[in-house]
Amino acid sequence: MPAEVSQKNGLTLTILSCPSGRPRCVLVRLTGTALHAEIASEKTSAGDVQQPMDEFFRSLAQLEEGTAQDWLSEGQDLAFSASRDPLFPGLVFLRIYLGSTSDDDCDWQINGSLLLTPTQVALFAEKLKQI
């Protein structure tokens, strides 16, 4: 079962297990009107302290106003940045980066953003935990 969260305008972030069954691999999709971007990525972050993706989203539901938090995949092809901005009271502003930075001729980058309630983020984190 995929984990999915959507903004009112229809932009949707979906995360599901890789069909190959590779451990720690997820498919990440960003879809909207005439938009479909998808990558295979890791469920843990880059850096010395590796944070699972579900833990990152669980912490966002508790994010305090005026603070931000970032997550970057090991392959650096997926990144999330979230904040609680006073301009969007009661909402989590989630920015998403998907990209292909291989050495071939088809490098691409997609940036999207979602305004979500903390409840939406918490439910998404629970679904992610099951993947």
Q: Is the pLDDT of residue 5 over 90?
A: yes
Answer yes or no: are the C-beta atoms of 32 and 10 closer than 8 Å: yes
Cα torsion 118, 120, 125, 127 to 10°: value is: 160
Q: Quick one: pLDDT band at residue 82, thresholds 50, 70, 90?
A: very high
Tell me the domains of the chain and their CATH numbers.
3-129 (2.30.31)
Per-residue pLDDT at 108: 86
65 half-sphere exposure, CB direction, 13 A CA radius: 7
List alpha helices for 1-131, DSSP H: 53-60, 118-129
Q: What is the pLDDT of residues 25-49, one digit of tens each?
A: 999 999 998 999 999 999 989 877 7
